[in-house]
Structures are given as structure tokens and as C-alpha cells.
Structure 1
Amino acid sequence: MDLPVMPPIDPMLAKSVPQIPAGQRYEPKWDGFRAVIFRDGSAVEIGSRNTRSIARYFPEVVASALAHLPSRCVLDGEIVVPSATTTGLDFEALLQRIHPAASRVEMLARTTPALFVAFDLLALDDDALMSRPLAARRALLEDALARSVGAGTATGEAAAVHLTPQTEDPDLAAQWFERFEGAGLDGVVAKRADGPYLPGKRGWAKIKHDRTADCVVAGYRVHTSGPDAIGSLLLGLHTDEGELASVGVIGAFPMARRRELFAELQPLRTELAGHPWAAALESGTRTPREAETSRWNRGKDLSFVPLRPERVVEVAYDHMEGTRFRHTAQFRRWRPDRDPDSCTFAQLEEPVSFALADVLSAGRPSS
């Protein structure tokens, strides 16, 4: 491989801001795996956010890059997996794609195929483009994908490469922020039209949904530093049937606070029998949901200590995926005034339903 921009490269990042800034270009914030695709003829590499190669996990994306991208190029974007049961994304299915067995990778590539959504062009042919302004890179990206993807689809081949929508209208960006969440997206990214591509720098701005919920603390995991510190608190919400469902965790505490929490929660420790998640515990998984694993740290101990579900905590979260918080929730405050039985799914804000296909079509280059 001999390209003007060579792997590995640290992708440019975004910093969180509270509201959509004026006078910039705006794109949906995709909720998948960050990916930089390098293609040089028949050679394709895919670098992750931490610069590791993930090409082996997505053979269908490699094949589509060979079929639909310019013969020599470097593109930045996101790998996502469309849901098989809804019109949005499926992050859990995407997590399943990181698997050591080649046979399983091949099977998942057929049953849960991934897409690559491009949002930047770092090199084309013999030209390195990172020092050029975003507006120029975007124009070249649109033209390159209109020609390469358009040529492939004209022959009847389905491309797994798409162009993210982009607008200079902040009002439209605000609409995307509200509407696209229903397709599983994560907010909006704002980028300066005159900005260069800065590897590893937080030169863009991201605006994400921030919501709160009152949850029941039903258990904890110990910290890796030792058995006398809390690693994370396990959260639950009651269903309409009154069952306590596992919805996620909070785990960002200073070490001193982790030890204080450990001491505070000891009086609530309980036996397995009678705990709302006893069935999962007794099945041998020792997790609040069946078959929970850590795909990024294999062998990690995910067992937890059950607690009597009597304490309520207010947490901040960005959005849900199914019945769980998509990302780790953030501690806000204890709620001693709340009855644990009142912590239900009914308090959660539901995003407007929106189809992934409509999001992708908004960024489709014209031929």
C-alpha cells in the first residue's frame, strides 16, 4: 500500500457542546464504530478510532470498498449495522461483529451486514487532502462517491458505502437532532467549513441528547483495584408488569467515592434467592441479563453483587437502545424521596420514529 496518507491515523474527534453552534456545517452523529478506510488498488485496510485494524471483522465492507470506492483513496466515516427488526440501527448486532472466529465473522457478515457511512475524504489518488478546508474535501467526497458508488449501483450491485447528509442550515440541523434519533443516531456534529482535518484533535463539536431518569440500584460490580471499591452500579426500571428490568450501569466515580459507596451499600447486600434477577444469577451467568459479555476485554469478570432494590438514583443518559441505556449513564444525585416501585419506563422520553433509509437518502450524492 502506497498512499499519500498512510495507516495508522488517529481520527479527528469532536468535543461536547451544549447547543448547536451557528455558522457551521452540520451532520448527523452516527452511533457505530469509527472507521478510516484506506484503499490502494486491491488492498484495503480499515483503521479504528484507536488505530487498530478492524478489516477482518467486516469482510463485506472491504468487498464494497473494492467495488464502490475510488481505486486510491482514504475515507473517514462510521461503520453501522442496520436493525433486522426496526427501521434504525442495531448497536448490539454491531458489537457481535467483533469476534475471534473467522467462521462466525463470515456468518455474521451475511446475516447482519454492516454499512460504511463516509463523512470525510483524507486522500484521493496522489493528493493528500487533510490540509484543505472541509468544504473542499466535502465537494471532492461527493463527486468521488457519485462516480464510484453510482457506477457500481448502475450494474445492479448493492453498495455498503453511503455519504452522510450535511447542511449549512442550523434549523435543519435542529430538526435532524430531534428526528434522526428515532433511527438510532446519536445527535449532531458541527464542523467549520474552512477547517482542516486535524488527526487526533477535538476540532469538531458534537451535540448529544441529555436526559435524566430515576432508576433503582439493584447491584454492583467491584472495581478492578480490589474488593472494597465499587466498579459500577447496576440500574433497573420496572416494567408495566412490575418486573425490574436491567437497563444499564453508572461507573464514573473518583476512587475515594468508590470506597465510600462500597461501605454505604453493604447493608443492602442480599442473598440470591428473592432478588429480582435471581434467575439470571442462578443460571450461572451471574449477570443481570442473559449472555452479557465484554467484547472489548475478553475474560473480564462481569459478576455482580445483588442488593435489595431499595435505593433510587437520578442518572443522565443520552438515549435508549431497546430497553437499555445505549451508553454508560452518569450519576446525578441520590433520590431518597422516590419510591423504587415508581421508577418505571413510563418516565423515559421516546424519540420520534425515523427510518435509517431516509437518513441515508438525505446524503446520497447526485449522479
Structure 2
Amino acid sequence: MTILVTGGAGFIGGNFVLDWLAQSDEPVVNLDKLTYAGNLQTLASLCDDPRHRFVQGDIGDRACVDALLAAHRPRAVVNFAAESHVDRSIHGPGEFIQTNVVGTFQLLEAVRGYWQALPDTEKAAFRFLHVSTDEVYGTLTENDSPFAETNRYEPNSPYSASKAASDHLVRAWHHTYGLPVLTTNCSNNYGPYHFPEKLIPLVIRNALAGQPLPIYGDGRQVRDWLYVGDHCGAIRRVLEAGRPGETYNVGGWNEKPNLEVVETICAILDELQPRADGQRYASQIAFVTDRPGHDRRYAIDARKLERELGWKPQETFDSGIRKTIAWYLANQEWVRNVESGHYRDWVAKQYGTPA
């Protein structure tokens, strides 16, 4: 028994692989293109583990995927592979279309061919789990109900539009060809091994470096925050017991405005690693020009997942963010190693000079 994980050197995928092998002896074949956000150092603890087979490759490379499926005969494919940063999608949408849309299509076609040739028993047990985002649903006002699985898709960025397209492809391959798919749409993840372009790791990094803590607009954009370990548990549960063709929303029940998130990080850093000059980290907060099409609020209704499969998050935001900050303080070498000149150029380009 083996599973194939795509995008397993990224933030969520890497955490999933580590979590899977910490709880199971079932081997993982890990396919990752190793773009800027793919980091094999995240998986360093598995370098001598025979249960983990890493392959550098692209989900859009049909020959590569076909060969892996034929050689390892996985009972399931878990697809994390995606370009995922909204800001990058605004500056360069082409890569998002190529990976998230064309790549998903190529992966689905490879998996369909493999699945159709399986013996009946293996064919019935096989699953393709597609990991997606709450951003496909668009934005909410302050008083709107959280996103449910029945909400219509209203993506507002090139990133979310490309993920919406991939979700539609996955659904179509189930209804047209019978491929036993599962889709999860998650809220904002945070936790260890997060590439420092996203809000929480960027704020931790900049705070410790004595640099500005950039916040878009008025900082009142609301997100539902999901600890990555909880997300991994939800994916395992959906893979184990989810009904083929179904979508499951995964959320943390932790709605927070961005400004509050940053202030919370600052307060914990004040406690755990105070500034040498005695000043508070919150003094580094800098409001910058809002990004185009910035969705005001995301929130996930995860009751279906709890009702049907018995999953609910274990971490509150307070417990999860404290674990996250403690991890970054203890793993500064990982942070230094992941920061290339390309990354620093990107942050300067995106955030510019504080307003």
C-alpha cells in the first residue's frame, strides 16, 4: 500500500508528508517540482527513511506521472501541487494557469488512465483527493454566513480563479468518467515550514529582523485561520472516509482581522524574545497600499466535515500561533536557508515603501 502526494515539499504538503509518516508506516511517493516555495529541507528528517521516495517533477509532465503510477501503484493520490500566492498571481498569472489548471488536467488524465486499468477491487478502493482553497468562493461581508460547500464560486484573483478551474475539472472527471474524487476547500493555513512571503511567517521574520511589519490597507480584512496540523488531520480523515464526488470545507473556526493577527504575534514575541532596545514589536507595524481586488472576509463553515466524518480542529488560534512562533524561534536556520535573493527581491517589489 502506497500513496502518491504531489506538491509534498511545499508548506501544507510537506507538513502532510511528515505527519503521515509520523502516524503510519504506509509509504509515500512525493512528487514536487521544487519551485521557489518547495523546500527539501522541510523533509530533512526523512532523508534516510525508506518509507519516503522523493521525485522532482511536474504534475503537468504526463510521462513522469504515468511512470510513477505504473511503478508504485498507489491506492490514492493527494494533490497539493499548486501555485498559491495571490500577490504573485496578480503580477504573473500565467504560471498559475499552467500549474493549477493545465497541470491539474494532465494529472487527472494520468490518474484516470491508471485507475481505469486497475483490478475491480483496487479500482473501487482508489481515491483522488484534491486540496483547494476557500478563496474560490469569493468574499464575504461582515454579516454574511461563512462559506458552505453549497456556495457558488465567485473567485476574485487570478490565483483563486485558477483554483476554481481546477476544482471544476476534478468534479467533471468524477461525473463524466466516474473517477472517485474528493475535494477539500480550506481556510488560511499557518504553522511550521511556511514560506516567509505569507502574512504570519513574514511578520515573524521582519519583527526579529527589526524591519517594518507590512499590513495591507486598514488591516481589517478577516480570515479564518487553520493550524496546518489540523488541516493534515482533516485530509487524512477525508481520504479515509469521505464519499467520492463530495466536497468538504476545512476551517479552524478562528476568524481574525489581519491587524489583530499581527498584534498577537507582536505580543507573543514581546514575551518570548523581547527587543534589545526594550521597545515593543508593534511599533514596527506599517500600513501599505492595499492590493488590487483584496477580498474583505473569508470564513469557513466546517460543520459538514464534523457531522459526516467527525473531524474538528484541535487548536485554537491562541494555541496554534504560540506553537508557530515557538517553532520559528527554534528554527532560524531553516528560515535563513529558505531566504534567497529572489525572495528578498520579491518582498521589496510587492510591499515597496510603507505608506
TM-score normalized by the length of structure 2: 0.25
Q: Name whichever structure is richer in strand by fraction.
A: 1
Q: Name whichever structure is richer in helix by fraction.
A: 2
TM-score normalized by the length of structure 1: 0.24
Structure scoring higher RCO (CA < 8 A, sep ≥ 6) equals 1
